Amino acid sequence: MSYLSISHVTKQYGDTVVVDDFNLDIEKGEFVSFLGPSGCGKTTTLRMVAGFEIPTAGKILLDGADITDKAPNQRNVGMIFQAYALFPNMTVAQNIGFGLSVRKESKEMVAQRVDEMISLVNLEKHATKYPYQLSGGQQQRVSLARALAIHPQVLLLDEPLSALDAKIRVSLRAEIRTIQKKLGITAIFVTHDQEEALSISDRIVVMNSGLMEQVGTPFEIYNFPTTVFAANFVGSLNNASAEVVDPANSLISIDGVQFESGIDLKERRKGDKVRVAIRPERLSFASEQKKANVVDATIENITFLGSVVRIQLKIGNTKFNMDTFNNPFLELPKIGAIEQVTCSREAVLVLDE
Amino acid sequence: MKSNTNNSRSVNSTVGGAKRPPRIPIGHWLGVLPFFVFSGMFLIAPTLVLAYRSLEGPEGGLTLDNYRQLASDTVMNSYGMSIKISLTTAILGGLIGFVIAWVVSMGGLPPRFRLITTTFSGVAANFAGVPLATAYVFTLGRVGLVTALFKMFGVNLYKTGFSLYSFFGLTLVYLYFQIPLMVLTILPALDGLKREWREAAENLGATQIQYWRYVALPVLTPSILGTMILLFGNSFGAHATAYALTGGLFDLATLLIGRQISGDVLHNPGLGYAVAMGMVFIMAFSIFIYSILQRRSERWLK
Amino acid sequence: MTTTPVSPAIATNKRPVTTQRLGSWLIYLVVSLYFLIPLAATFYWSLRGKKDVLSFEAYRKLFADTSFLPAFSQSIINAIATIFLCLLIVVPTAYWVTLRLPKLRPVVEFITLLPFVIPAVVLVFGIIRLYSAPPLLFTATYNSSRVVLICVYVCLSFPYMFRSVDNGLRAIDVRTLTEAAQSLGANWVTILFRVIFPNLRVALLSGALLTFAIVIGELTIALYMAQHTLGPYMSDLTRSKVYEPSAMAIVAFAITWAAMGIIDFVGRGASRQAQKTEAE
């Protein structure tokens, strides 16, 4: 029996379906990310768990209790907003203690819990400051402390890092993950940044236009995407149309160039049109090590990106990106040259459209 | 045309203290010159004249006597009535205006009502003066429509001591432009209440009432207070409506000054000027407090 | 598409707020009555010009009054002169303060607060004392007093005009526009009249309409400066005639409503325009 169960939840505004049959079982202590572009329904789903939207259909169960229709102030879930939403007329300490004072806890209890939370997020020196005196990162940490102070059963984070500078984003997301692990609290994290989702989640739900595209661990989603959208949205990808040449041996052909795929194609017929994806970092030069697939490629362009060197190739008539780690002693091929490029069977992904 | 002498009063007094920016062409000063000339001639100078003359004794020397005489009965009665009416309309107008602003922005009324209300508020605020006074005479004056309606039900309004030309009547009339002023000024502040604050409060377990008590009202208080002070000043300095209603014969500070302009009713010109300057000080003080509160509320509501 | 029945509560997002909604309607209704009754009463009386029958007699008499049209036209001309002068003064001022003399901004904003600090009756007191005696005898003749009156009105409109123009300048990013025009070789006259003014049309219209509303019915200053404008005329009317004042009040209301309506209408179009430009 999972801790948080979102079952067949749909949200409709008039004729527009914003969330379509969302199903997810979350274990206690799990960190799940909803990942997708703007408008995909991830925030709406989160807000339904928080109680700010009511599902048109479906149920939400928390620790066995049906909370689908419960008012937001009775759910004991802690929410963190993109815009921090700190109460401007209260100090950091008062903000953090708000949830407890509303529940009429004793002053000592509140003070003690507030101190606990302040040291949890490392804001000891700022307890008496007002929100306008704090930086964005600090305000978000207060927001986190405030939500955790009430001992919530679930922590809901609505794109909490989107408004922050890049460096703070990276350090704060690690901090959030550390705190979440330390407290063992179940968390749902909404973001459109795939790097964020990949780096801190136990599982990711990739969403698009109200639908769940794929659910899995970061490793699974990145390396074995099951849909074109998931493959495209997470990480960069080479995309090509191909034709099935030999279903029994999983052979496909891109513009006449033959590849062997690691995916079982026995269900398909010869001549079927499919979409094929290969991650740029799975391609390498055959001169270094030969793998299952070896093809000829024309070098079109070489871009130096720092730790990664991106080489644009043409295989057949299709452009491919190849990423290789920077090596100051590696001699790079000349533009216009034809080189042999290789990749393993498993690198050739065949996707549903 | 070198204009340093003309705008010396206003320009030098502003730049004095800060170092003069180097090499700014005279052309730039020309652009703002007319503004300073006009405000100097028709706003600042007249006030300075009044200030100077209020400090003039009967023999010509400088004295604070005129200000001491402000405590006299005639003056105190008028000032007192002005303050009474201004306080009452500021508080009442502020409360009612706030409630209406709340109703049209988050009270659940159809959105069209907000536009109707703001447009009408602009009109009502400008309706003040003779038209407003006239309208009330036809409503609650001795032969007004509502007075007649009351008579139909056997109630003779004027026998009960009610009069349009009294503290109660003036308060009623003044509210007609005070309430709209409050609505127009406080609506942006209500808009500034972020939706996330309410949601965060709900999420932390607060009821609607707790949210308003601990978050929304405290955040709005500087705006509400500030606008009430604005309302106070607005009522205190109002002349036209009271004049049109009472023919200038009522005991009100602005009407007193008006009578003084037409002739020396105080039998002491210096006192007349002091009365006028007294008004200016009270207005200046209220505008000052208002801008402080405005700045505080902007910090929270931007 | 739905596999389970819709939740027993509402399918939309609204919680039961009917009591709150009811309260809102009630409050709005009561307050509306307070505002509408005087208007209704005045309108009713304005139709009682002829004995025992409802007619527009009062209006006819009003417009036929020999002193009405002159007073009305004086006010209109005063208003137009005020608007024109005010625009000519405020726009360059706002422009220069924004672009070249930002240090003067606090001073300018302080000055625009003065009309609220100095009540009209006090101001006219000072004006009369200052300009009624040599060497500054500007109020010797009716027309010279009229000029002084218009100048005072210009100053009283500063707060509204300056705020309108200032907001307008902010919305059109005046600095960039000016630099673009300068790089194309324009001098400041050209910039002001061919670049700035046209782009500020909406802000200028708002400010102009507000000024119009203020000047047209102004009483206090016109009264004590013995000017025969609409304000003093209306005031006299209340003491001399019975029904015409109500017609006058309704006409005044209609004019003000028209002015405010135009401001709102134009203002909404402008904000849509600004949103479009921002989105680009």
Counting Cα atoms < 13 Å in the Cβ hemisphere of B174 gives 31
Closest CA to B90 of B225, B290, B292: B225
Let me know: does B237 contact B90? Beta carbons within 8 Å. no
* Structural element, H or E, at residue B28: helix B26-39
For residue C11, the chain A residue with the least C-alpha distance is: A56
Helices C142-171 and C201-216: angle between axes, nearest 10 degrees: 150
The last residue of one of the domains, among A232, A254, A283, is A232
Q: Which chains touch B (3 or more CB pairs under 8 A)?
A: A, C
pLDDT in tens, B34-77: 999 999 999 999 999 999 888 887 777 777 878 888 888 888 88
Contact status, residue A285 vs residue A339, Cβ threshold 8 Å: yes
Q: Which site among A56, A60, A67, A70 would you substitute to test the C interface, given the most C Cβ atoms closer than 10 Å to its Cβ?
A: A56
pLDDT number for residue C1: 38
Chain A residues whose beta carbon lies within 8 Å of the beta carbon of residue C17: none
What is the per-residue pLDDT for C135?
Answer: 79
Residue C273 has pLDDT above 70, yes or no: no
pLDDT at A205: 95
Chain A interface includes B299 (CB < 8 A): yes
Three-state secondary structure call for residue C247? helix
Instruction: Give me the residue from C35, C38, C117 closest to B287, CB to CB.
Output: C117
Contact B202 A72 (CB under 8 A): yes
Residues in chain B with CB shorter than 8 Å from the CB of A81 are 196, 199-200
Same structural domain for residues A272 and A206? no
The helix or strand, by DSSP H or E, that contains position C147, with its residue range, turns out to be helix C142-171
Would you call C14 helix, strand, or coil by DSSP?
A: coil
List strands edge to edge, sheet with A308-315: A284-285, A338-343, A293-304, A308-315, A318-325
User: Are A200 and A261 in a shared domain?
Assistant: no
- Is residue A170 domain-shared with residue A304, that is, in the same domain? no
Which tens digit of pLDDT belongs to each residue from C43-86? 988 888 777 777 888 888 888 888 888 999 999 999 999 999 99
Q: Are residues A106 and A138 in the same domain?
A: yes
Residue of B196, B202, B300 with shortest CB distance to A89: B300
**How do A154-158 and A16-26 pair as beta strands?**
unpaired
Interface with chain B: mutation pick from C117, C144, C218, C235, highest number of B CBs within 10 Å: C117
Nearest CA-CA partner of B251 in B78, B27, B55, B23 = B78
CA-nearest of B243, B170, B273 to C223 is B243
A17·C1 Cβ contact <8 A: yes
Cβ-based contacts of C238 with chain B (< 8 Å)? 130, 133-134, 137, 244
Q: Find, in chain A, the residue whose alpha carbon is nearest to that of C3.
A: A8
CB count within 10 Å of CB A239 equals 15
What is the crossing angle of helices C68-99 and C57-64, to 10°? Answer: 80
Instruction: Please report which confidence band the pLDDT of residue C270 belongs to, taking 50, 70 and 90 as the band edges.
Output: low
Q: Which residue of A has its CA nearest to B197?
A: A85
Nearest to C34 by CA among B157, B245, B107, B180: B180
Residue A287: exposure state from Cβ atoms within 10 A (0-12, 13-18, ≥19): exposed
User: In the structure encoding, which two tokens stand for residue C279, read together?
Assistant: 């989105």
pLDDT at B241: 93
Q: Which of A213, A232, A251 is the last residue of a domain?
A: A232
pLDDT at residue A265 above 60? yes
CATH number reported for the structural domain that contains residue A293 in this entry: 2.40.50.140
Q: What is the rounded average pLDDT of the residues B94-99? A: 95
- Is the pLDDT score of C33 beyond 60? yes
pLDDT for the residue numbered A93: 94
Give the residue, B146 or A191, on which the prediction is more confident.
A191
Residues C221 and C66 sit within 8 Å (Cβ to Cβ): no
Rounded to two decimals, the pTM is: 0.81
| Whole-number pLDDT of residue C269 | 66
* Residue A254 DSSP class: E
What 3-state DSSP class applies to A193? coil
CATH number where A168 lies: 3.40.50.300
pLDDT top residue among C16 and A158 = A158
Chain C residue numbers touching B99 (CB-CB < 8 A): 27, 31
Edge-first strand listing for the sheet containing A77-80 = A77-80, A154-158, A186-191, A31-35, A203-208, A211-216
Please, which pLDDT band fits residue B11 given cuts at 50, 70 and 90?
very low
Q: Give the bridge partners for A155, in sequence order.
A: A78, A187
- Judge whether A147 is closer than 8 Å to chain B, CB to CB: yes
In one-letter notation, the amino acid at residue C101 is: L
CA distance B8 to chain A (A): 41
How close C20 comes to chain A (CA, Å)? 17
- pLDDT, tens only, B19-35: 555 555 666 777 788 99
Q: Give strand pairing partners of A275.
A: A241, A351
Average pLDDT over residues B220-228: 91
pLDDT (mean) for A23-29: 94
What CATH code is assigned to B74-301? 1.10.3720.10
Please answer yes or no on whether A87 and B204 come within 8 Å at the CB atom: no
Portion 287-306 of A in contact with B at CB < 8 A: none
Claim to verify: residue A161 and residue A286 sit in the same structural domain:
no
Residues of chain A above pLDDT 70, percent: 99
Chain A contact set for B202 (CB, 8 A): 51-52, 71-73
Q: What is the pLDDT of residues A177-230, one digit of tens each?
A: 999 999 999 999 999 998 899 999 999 999 999 999 999 999 999 888 888 888
pLDDT digits (tens, 9 = 90+) for A300-350: 999 888 888 999 998 888 888 899 888 888 788 888 889 898 988 888 888
Helix or strand (DSSP H, E) at A307: none
Structure tokens at C94: 């706002």
Torsion of the alpha carbons at A118, A121, A126 and A129, rounded to the nearest 10: -80
Omega before residue C135 within 30° of 0, cis: yes
Contact B126 C214 (CB under 8 A): yes
- Report the mean per-residue pLDDT for chain B: 85
Percent of chain A at pLDDT > 90 equals: 52
Task: Give the C-alpha separation, C205 to B220, whole Å.
Answer: 32
User: What stretch of H or E contains A278?
Assistant: strand A273-278
Nearest to A85 among B200, B206, B210 (CB): B200
Which of residues B150 and A143 earns the better pLDDT score? A143
Answer whether C37 touches B (CB < 8 Å). yes
Cβ–Cβ gap C8/A69 under 8 Å: yes
Element (H, E) at A58: strand A57-62
User: String of b and e for C167-188 (b: at least 16 CB within 10 Å)?
Assistant: bbbebbebeeebeebeeeeeeb
Report chain A residues whose CB lies below 8 A from the CB of C16.
Answer: none
**Looking at the predicted structure, is the pLDDT value of residue C274 above 70?**
no
B104, B113 contact by CB (below 8 A): yes
Q: Cis omega before residue B21 (within 30°)? A: no
Closest Cα in chain A to B194: A85
Question: Which of A56, A59, A71 faces C11 most closely, judged by CB atoms?
Answer: A56
B204/A99 touch (CB, cutoff 8 Å), yes or no:
yes
The full set of domain ranges for chain B reads 8-54, 74-301
Please report all neighbours of C, defined by 3+ CB atom pairs within 8 A.
Answer: A, B
The one-letter amino acid at C117 = V
* A240 and A182 assigned to the same domain: no
Answer yes or no: is pLDDT of B15 > 50.
Answer: no
**Closest CA–CA distance from residue C273 to any residue of chain A (Å):** 25
Average pLDDT value for residue range B223-250: 91
C54 and chain B: CB distance < 8 Å anywhere?
Answer: no
CB A298 within 8 A of CB A281: no
Provide the CA A188 distance to its chain's centre, in angstroms: 11
3-state helix, strand, coil in chain A (%, to 5): 30, 35, 35
Of the given ranges (A4-8, A211-215, A259-263, B166-170), which has the lowest mean pLDDT? Answer: A259-263
Q: What is the predicted pLDDT for the residue at A202?
A: 96
CA C56: distance to chain centroid?
28
Structure confidence at residue C13 (pLDDT)? 42
Q: Among the listed ranges B203-207, B272-276, C39-43, C60-64, which one has the minimum average pLDDT value?
A: C60-64
Residue C266 Cα, gap to closest chain A Cα (Å): 32
Residue in B47, B103, B108 closest to C118 by CB:
B47
Name the band, by pLDDT with cuts 50, 70 and 90, for residue A2.
Answer: confident
Region B178-193: what's the mean pLDDT?
Answer: 91
CB A5 within 8 A of CB A25: yes
Query: At residue C278, does pLDDT exceed 80?
Result: no
Q: How far apart are CA C233 and CA A195, in angstroms?
A: 75
Q: What are the tokens at A297?
A: 């490629």
Domain count within chain A? 2
pLDDT tens digits for A323-337?
A: 988 888 878 888 888
B158 pLDDT more than 70: yes
- On whether any CB of chain A is under 8 Å from the CB of B210, the answer is yes
A72 contacts in chain B (CB < 8 Å): 199, 202-203
Tokens of C174: 């005046």
Q: Residue C3 pLDDT > 60, yes or no? A: no
Contact B214 A87 (CB under 8 A): yes
Please say whether the beta carbons of C106 and B295 come within 8 A. Answer: no
pLDDT of res. B5: 43
Residue A158 one-letter amino acid: D
Indicate if A295 and A340 belong to the same structural domain. yes
Q: Please tell me the distance in Å from C2's CA to the nearest CA on chain B.
A: 28
Which residue carries 């909406």 as its tokens? Answer: C202
Position B302 scores a pLDDT of: 61
Structure tokens at C236: 């006299």
The confidence score (pLDDT) of residue A160 equals 94
Interface residues on A facing C, Cβ-Cβ cutoff 8 A: 7-8, 10, 12, 17, 20-21, 52-59, 68-69, 71
Shared domain for A210 and A255, answered yes or no, is: no
Residue B96 has pLDDT above 90, yes or no: yes
How far, in Å, are A197, B274, C214 from residue C208 at the CA level?
55, 35, 10
Q: What is the CATH number that goes with domain C60-279?
A: 1.10.3720.10
Q: Which residues span the domain enclosing A76?
A: 4-232
C144-to-C136, C158, C238 alpha-carbon distances in Å: 12, 22, 28
What is the pLDDT of chain A when averaged over all its residues?
A: 90
- Which of A212, A232, A252 is a domain's end point? A232
How many A-C residue pairs are in contact by the CB < 8 A criterion? 39
Asked if A19 and A49 touch (Cβ cutoff 8 Å), the reply is no
State what percent of residues in chain C have pLDDT above 70: 89
Clarify whether residues A131 and A222 are in a common domain: yes
Give the residue-averaged pLDDT of C170-191.
Answer: 81
| Same domain? A160 vs A18 | yes
Task: List the chains bordering chain A where 3 or more Cβ pairs fall under 8 Å.
Answer: B, C
